[in-house]
Amino acid sequence: MKNVNDYLHKHVLVIGLAKSGLAAAKLLHRLGANVTVNDVKATEEDTSVKELTSMGIKVVGGGHPLSLIDENPVDLVVKNPGIPYSNPLIARAIEKKLPVITEVELAYKISEADIIAITGSNGKTTTTTLIYEMLKEDQKQPLIAGNIGTVACEVAQNATKENVIVMELSSFQLLGTIEFKPAIALILNIFDAHLDYHGTKEEYAYAKGKIYENQTTGDVSIINKNDEEVCTLSETSNAQKIYFSTSSFLEDGVCIKDDSIWFKGDEIIKVKDIVLPGVHNLENILAAVAAVKLRGVSNEAIYKVLTTFQGVKHRLQYVDSVDGRRFYNDSKATNILATSKALQAFTSPTILLAGGLDRGNEFDDMKPYLENVKAMILFGETAPKLERIAKERGIEHIKRVDNVEKAVSAAFNVSEIDDVILLSPACASWDQYKTFEERGDIFIQAVHKLN
């Protein structure tokens, strides 16, 4: 860890405890800051609260009192990524022109290791995991952090110059960065997402684009040539630029030619040898190949990973086959685009399990991708909206059920041998489940109960 003095004797308010808030508070205390933590749900009985108070850190629960800023010295605010900027305490900090950051900024400031940062509307976790596994296979000593795995500033404390941190970042995390500058930055794609948080697509894209913003000539920006918005965002970058494309030949980038993946004229692997399902995953793979080749990873290591890696849990994850029916868990598909891409991964007759939190959008954009869907089993707040498009598409079997567990048995009852039964909700989980992981785990358990 770098010995930085930026926070010595500074008065820092950490808003939101959870994992990132706890890690940030402990790090800032270690760096000599005067830390106060505020969390609505914090109580004296909480293990994390006890840990912080034993270190001399003040914890305030029960609300977000403006007095924390109005009546106390504050030099810096560190917020949990999920807390909106409309929060009264954060809004007051901005009004007073206080810097408001997320713990990702702290991770960058203290990290001795180079950072490979990955963002995008879809595919972040798969791409991040691929990069990590390829680096690991070639013994490059990677660490994984951010929106996947361990909190970034916690990982950065233990990283050395021999390591490289592979960091998945959300728009929420990136919006709270000021100086953050990864050695390699990558935006996979930009689609409408999290508009309830950002307000507009332009603001959402701006947050994503901050991953390139501070890069200089010694850094590298990896850019999806097929995404106009990503290309536009990359114009802010002063780094070297490497493009990837599934449709264009790129002599100096990563592309597909003659049914193989090529990096700067070097053939890496035949597409047919890749085991990860789905055409959409080819973009994730090209981006990952670009990142690891820039770190000197061998073609052999890349080939080994791509011929064995079957996907990340909850991301088009193969679960099991029951009486000739194949079950896939794509609970991470929390928007229309992700579900549309999942549907394109299969040519077999498909039974789609979908539904969840209603964010006010309709699902008409999914209709072109329902060609192979023979049945839809629907749950959650959006079930009526999904039922409408199913009927308009002429889908034979449509059924509403109470939850994911009941959806599995309902799907199995209308299925036949060689069918694909796919959980790909196209919605967030929060109307019924705490996380998409919980939703996916319930799906997996229900599938195993069929055996």
* Two tokens, residue 214: 């501070």
373/252 same-domain check: no
Distance CA 241, CA 115 (A): 16
Give a yes or no: residue 4 inside a domain. Answer: no
Residues 271 and 413 both lie in one domain: no
CATH code, domain with 52: 3.40.50.720
* Confidence check: pLDDT of 195 > 70: no
Q: What does the pLDDT read at residue 416?
A: 97
Strand ranges across the sheet with 100-101: 58-61, 34-39, 11-15, 76-79, 100-101
Give me the domain span that covers residue 20.
Answer: 11-101
Whether residue 1 is contained in a domain is answered as no
Is position 370 within any domain? yes
């203290």: which residue's tokens?
Answer: 110
Does 336 share its domain with 257? no
Of the three residues 101, 129, 146, the one that is the final residue of a domain is 101
How many Å from the N-terminal Cα to the C-terminal Cα in the chain? 50
Percentage of the residues of the chain whose pLDDT score is greater than 90: 87
Of 101, 134, 154, which marks where a domain is finished? 101
Residues 281 and 182 in one domain: yes
Q: In terms of domains, do 151 and 281 share one? A: yes
Query: What is this structure's pTM?
Result: 0.82
Whether residues 276 and 204 fall in one domain: yes
Contacting residues for 74 by C-beta, under 8 A, at least 6 apart: 11, 12, 13, 68, 93, 96, 98
Is residue 117 situated within a structural domain?
A: yes
Look up the CATH number of the domain holding residue 193.
3.40.1190.10
Are 294 and 358 within one domain?
A: no
**246 lies in the same domain as 394:** no
If asked whether residues 27 and 115 sit together in one domain, one would say no
Number of domains in the chain: 3
- Per-residue model confidence as pLDDT tens digits over 249-265: 999 999 999 999 999 99
In this structure, the answer to whether residues 247 and 324 fall within a common structural domain is no
Q: Average the pLDDT over 81-105 and give the result.
A: 95
Give φ, ψ of 31 to 5 degrees. -85, 5
Evaluate if residue 193 carries a pLDDT over 80: no
Half-sphere exposure of 400 (CA within 13 A, CB side): 11
- Considering the domain architecture, whether residues 139 and 278 belong to the same structural domain is answered as yes
- Poorest-pLDDT segment among 237-246, 284-293, 322-331, 340-349: 340-349
265, 284, 306: which is the final residue of a domain? 306
Judged by DSSP in three states, 405 sits in helix
Measured distance CA(82)–CA(95) in Å, rounded:
20
Residue 110 DSSP symbol: H
Is the sign of the CA dihedral 364, 368, 369, 371 positive or negative? positive
pLDDT band at 315 (very low <50, low <70, confident <90, very high): confident
